[in-house]
């Protein structure tokens, strides 16, 4: 399944530096606004120690981790919703992503220009939030103008339901409340899904700090971001984009040693990948064998046939049963034979809700 997280922020907050680290690509990361003009897309693999165990157990010809996309989107400025900077081009790229990663500058550096003159993370967050809200409001108003008369004259139930959902959305946005904080019914969500409202997307704030503060884990600015995120029921992490970019140049062994010397357990990049994966409501199941050990991404709450369909549509169409082993059981018992002997291999049907770490073999017939 193709999922995207979009990296946004004001110019010169460290977005492109972070993107370089994420993808190990070297796009332009210059000290001036709009160094990134077209969205840059990179695929990132999700670190998973379970794959290493499965690889050592099955000795497959290839091992394929699960992955998703990060998109680096050009820097936003005040007035983007009215066409300032890159304006609507920037906003249209955000509409295409599933989740938002907002990089917030939480470091002082006189050599790096701040587009607003000085470091103030909450002001920066609110500048971006305002532009995103205004962009959603424009779409809401346009749609209400188009559908309101039809709903009133025809009394069409679907049109009325959509109009009510839009009016609920309009009221929220006009009160500076992102749509992700509004309770919608499943039907309302279905009706407004096609509009790709930006403020309906889940968001995580990345407090970008200097190397010293990355080691300590916080500073006065990150504390402000933490309070803001908690108040708005959002996630946040602290990381140093510059440090992560340097780490991305090292091999795994050297990277671990360097982090150990700094007293850091997990890299900021790993924390971001895990946090974004969780933000998107994603989990992992595995298929195993001598030819291939592979991790597959699925939405939490998906049933077995849906997950079978991620591998191939025929698997879902002709689904019969799923042979399922929990990774934890296989890890504890060390072999498929022991799993079977201990009654831990299960046959699950169409209503089985897949769990993170399930190892599956799908039976199907078409």
pLDDT in tens, 299-322: 999 999 999 999 999 999 999 999
Q: Give the Cα separation of 76 and 272 in Å (integer).
A: 21
Average pLDDT of the chain is 88
Q: Give the Cα separation of 15 and 180 in Å (integer).
A: 23
**What local confidence, expressed as pLDDT, does residue 35 receive?**
40
Torsion on CA atoms 212, 215, 217, 219, rounded to nearest 10? -10
CA 29 to chain CA centroid, Å, is 22
**What local confidence, expressed as pLDDT, does residue 29 receive?**
45
* Two structure tokens written together for 92: 């249209």
pLDDT in tens, 6-17: 999 988 888 888
Q: Give the Cα separation of 200 and 325 in Å (integer).
A: 36
Nearest Cα residue to 61 out of 359, 295, 293: 293
- pTM value is 0.84
Q: Give the Cα separation of 285 and 296 in Å (integer).
A: 5
Give the phi and the psi of residue 363 in degrees, each rounded to 5.
Answer: -90, 135
- Contact present, 29 and 264 (Cβ < 8 Å): no
Q: Could you give the residue ranges of the DSSP H alpha helices within the chain?
A: 15-23, 49-58, 87-95, 121-154, 157-174, 186-192, 211-216, 220-231, 241-247, 252-262, 268-279, 304-311, 313-317, 327-333, 336-341
pLDDT in tens, 177-218: 999 999 999 999 999 999 999 999 999 999 999 999 998 989
Tokens 């993170």 belong to which residue?
Answer: 356
- Mean pLDDT of the 277-294 span: 94
Q: Give the Cα separation of 27 and 107 in Å (integer).
A: 22
Q: Is 120 exposed, middle or buried (0-12, 13-18, 19+ CB in 10 A)?
A: middle
Give the phi and the psi of residue 153 in degrees, each rounded to 5.
Answer: -90, -40
Tokens 């939030």 belong to which residue?
Answer: 129
**What local confidence, expressed as pLDDT, does residue 39 receive?**
55
- Contact present, 2 and 96 (Cβ < 8 Å): no
**What local confidence, expressed as pLDDT, does residue 34 receive?**
37
For 261, residues 6+ apart whose C-beta sits below 8 A from its C-beta are none
SS (H, E, C) 107-170: CCCCCCCCCCCCCCHHHHHHHHHHHHHHHHHHHHHHHHHHHHHHHHHHCCHHHHHHHHHHHHHH
For 272, residues 6+ apart whose C-beta sits below 8 A from its C-beta are 22, 101, 204, 206, 237, 239
């Amino acid at each position: 399944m193709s999922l995207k997280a979009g990296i946004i922020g004001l110019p010169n907050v460290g977005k492109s530096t972070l993107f370089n680290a994420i993808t190990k690509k070297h796009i332009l990361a210059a000290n001036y606004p709009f160094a990134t003009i077209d969205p840059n897309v990179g695929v990132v693999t999700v670190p998973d120690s379970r794959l290493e165990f499965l690889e050592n157990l099955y000795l497959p010809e290839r091992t394929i981790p699960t992955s998703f996309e990060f998109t680096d989107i050009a820097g936003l400025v005040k007035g983007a919703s009215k066409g300032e900077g890159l304006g609507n081009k920037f906003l249209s790229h955000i509409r295409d992503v599933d989740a938002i990663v907002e990089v917030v500058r939480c470091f002082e550096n006189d050599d790096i220009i701040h587009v607003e003159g000085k470091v103030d993370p909450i002001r920066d967050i609110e500048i971006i939030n305002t532009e995103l809200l205004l962009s959603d409001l424009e779409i809401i108003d346009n749609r209400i103008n188009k559908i309101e008369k039809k709903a009133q004259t025809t009394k069409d139930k679907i049109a009325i339901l959509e109009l009510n959902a839009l009016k609920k959305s309009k009221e929220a946005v006009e009160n500076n409340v992102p749509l992700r904080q509004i309770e919608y019914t499943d039907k309302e969500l279905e009706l407004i899904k096609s509009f790709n409202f930006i403020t309906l997307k889940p968001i995580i704030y990345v407090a970008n700090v200097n190397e010293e503060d990355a080691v300590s884990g916080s500073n006065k600015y990150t504390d402000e971001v933490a309070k803001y995120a908690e108040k708005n029921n959002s996630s946040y992490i602290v990381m140093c984009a510059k440090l992560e970019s340097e780490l991305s140049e090292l091999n795994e062994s050297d990277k671990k040693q360097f982090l150990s010397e700094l007293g850091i357990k997990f890299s900021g990049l790993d924390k971001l990948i895990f946090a974004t994966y969780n933000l998107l409501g994603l989990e992992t199941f595995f298929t195993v064998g001598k030819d291939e050990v592979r991790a597959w991404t699925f939405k939490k709450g998906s049933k077995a046939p849906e997950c079978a369909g991620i591998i191939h549509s025929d698997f879902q169409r002709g689904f019969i049963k799923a042979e399922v082993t929990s990774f934890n059981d296989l890890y504890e018992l060390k072999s498929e034979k022991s799993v079977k002997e201990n009654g831990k291999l299960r046959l699950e049907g169409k209503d089985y809700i897949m769990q993170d770490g399930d190892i599956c073999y799908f039976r199907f017939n078409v």
